[in-house]
Every structure is written in C-alpha cells, then in structure tokens.
Amino acid sequence: MHSLRYLRPANVEEAVRIFNENEDASFLSGGHTLLPTLKLGLARPAALVDLTGIKSLRHITVGGDVLSIGAATCHADVASSDIVRRHIPALAGLAGSIGDRHVRNRGTIGGSVANNDPAADYPAAVLGLGATVVTDRRGLVADDFFTGLYETALESGEIVTRIDFPIPQIASYAKFRSAASRYSVAAVFISHGQSGVRVAVTGAGTNGVFRAKDLEQALSDDFRPEALADLHIDPASMSSDNVGTPEYRASLVMVMARRAMAHPGTTQSYK
C-alpha cells in the first residue's frame, strides 16, 4: 500500500516551506481530481499539503471595479455570496451549477482553476472576464494562464492565492452539461466590460478553454443575440468523445452562445 504524509499548514508561507521540504509533494485544494488519481495509482505523491485550512485564502471582497475571491473559497460560498450575486451574478450562477452539493461544499475555485480540467466551468469565467490569477509569486492574466489540457503557466510549488475579476457591465453563462457528471459538454461565458467583449468556451475545445474571437468581433459590432445568427464554429477545433462528435459540439457552442446572449446577467444550465 502506498503511504504518504498529510500536512495542513496554517498560512501560505508555511505551505511553501513544507512543499519545499518534502520531495514529491502535491498541493491539495478540494481534491476532486487528485484524490481519484491517488486511488487509481496514477499519482503517487510522498506528501499532500492541504491548502484549505489557510484562512487568508478564503474571502470574497470588492475593491473599486475588481471582485476578488480567495483561492480556497468553495463553490457553495461563491454561489451564495451576496457580493458575487450583486456584482457578477453570472459567476454566482456558474458556481451554483457545478457538480452537486457535496462537490460545491468541498471543491474550491483555486483548485479548479489550477487543475484546468477542459470541461470545468471556472476557467471559462476567468478567461471570459479577463481575470488575473494571483499567486504567492506574481499575477498572471487569464490569456497567459491557461496553456493546454490540464496545463497552466503555474510553476512547481507556486500557489494560487486569489482570483481578481474585473466587474463587467454585463456577463452571462450558458452551459450544456453531462447528465452524469454535470461537467460541461459545451459552455460559453460572455462578458462586456471596460476591455470590450470577451467570449470564452469550455468543455468543447481540443486544447481546453479558449476565446472565440469571431464571436467577440461580431458582438463588439452589435451586442445582441442576432449578431450571432450566421456565425459558426469550426468543428476541426472541437473535441470528440462518446458524448458528441466535433460537429455536434461546434453546433452546441453556438446554441449556448445565443442562449447566453438571450439571458443577459444570468447562468443557464441545460442537459
């Protein structure tokens, strides 16, 4: 049987020190991907450094035109937060659409973003809002943070401490989810803010979350659902599995984009 050390630091500095002192250590923040891979023997860290007990990583605040969420804040707290509901209601709705109540009360926003599952919801919000992922070392803008399937710009031992979301004029999210996992088969996050229109797609792309530049351009010219009427997504950039073909996902992305535009300021979840 594989044995490991379970360590629960009280602050970020202690977490960094423990990580550096333990060879083959892994950070734990929610664990919905890490724990199953441990059970299957696909990951064999010598130590788990649990970040969820660090109080400074659990907060939701607003300063100026930025909504900041601590990395260890669970999905349920984001979904129920009056601050999030007031300033970015689509983000609260997105958090409330993740998994089931058990997942939402254990999973964290930082863990989801750092893991970058290609069907996860939060990466779409981070990219779709042009957020900044703040770590114990630096700030990474969304366009530079996500680098591929389950890959990010994080370096070894780097800890996500918070996500800074610019508060948009309007933002919407539409998601077609798997009935079994509630992960996105295709989902689209659209925002209109100071930096213009941003459209992020999750669950459908071969390389994970991505910005749909053609949709952004069309909505920049005319921010109405009708602006998307004649647009299409290239199936060559879509993934294929037992849920759907690339052509199916390409069509579904456009359906979700139009529904997001048709219900401004909300999250719509379909199955």
Q: Specify if 249 maps to a domain.
A: yes
Percent of the chain with pLDDT over 70: 99
Residue 38 has a pLDDT of 73
Q: Specify if 127 maps to a domain.
A: no
Lowest model confidence (mean pLDDT) among 97-101, 197-201, 221-225, 254-258: 97-101
Which tokens is 1 given?
């049987």
Spatial distance between the Cα atoms of 23 and 54, rounded to a whole number of angstroms? 22
Spatial distance between the Cα atoms of 233 and 212, rounded to a whole number of angstroms? 8
Q: If DSSP states are collapsed to H, E and C, what string results for 146-207?
A: EEECCEECCCCCCCEEEEEEECCCEEEEEEEECCCCCCEEEEEEEEEECCEEEEEEECCECC
Torsions phi, psi for 117 (to 5 deg): -60, 135
Q: Specify if 66 maps to a domain.
A: no
Nearest to residue 205, comparing CAs of 233, 243, 183, 227? 233
By the 8 A CB rule, do 108 and 191 touch? no
Number of folded domains that form the chain = 2
Q: Specify if 124 maps to a domain.
A: no
Residue 2 has a pLDDT of 65
Q: How far is CA 115 from CA 27, 192, 258, in A?
A: 11, 26, 28
- Of the CA atoms within 13 Å of residue 223, those in its CB half-sphere come to 15
Q: Specify if 153 maps to a domain.
A: no
Strand order in the sheet with 184-193: 210-211, 196-202, 184-193, 170-177, 267-270
Q: Specify if 12 maps to a domain.
A: yes
Residue 117 has a pLDDT of 94
- pLDDT tens track for 61-99: 999 999 999 999 999 999 999 999 999 999 999 999 998
- pLDDT confidence tier of residue 51, bands split at 50, 70 and 90: very high
Q: What is the pTM of this model?
A: 0.94
- pLDDT tens track for 131-143: 999 999 999 999 9
CATH code of residue 8: 3.30.43.10
Residue 271 has a pLDDT of 83
206 has a pLDDT exceeding 50: yes
CATH code of residue 236: 3.30.390.50
Residue 1 has a pLDDT of 45
Q: Specify if 58 maps to a domain.
A: no
Following DSSP, what letter does each residue of 104-135 receive, concatenated? HHH-BHHHHHHHT-TT-SHHHHHHHHT-EEEE
- pLDDT tens track for 96-117: 999 889 999 999 999 999 999 9
Percent of the chain with pLDDT over 90: 83
Domain encompassing residue 26: 1-53
DSSP-derived 3-state class of residue 35: helix
Average pLDDT, the chain: 94
Q: Specify if 245 maps to a domain.
A: yes
What is the mean pLDDT of the segment spanning 145-159? 96
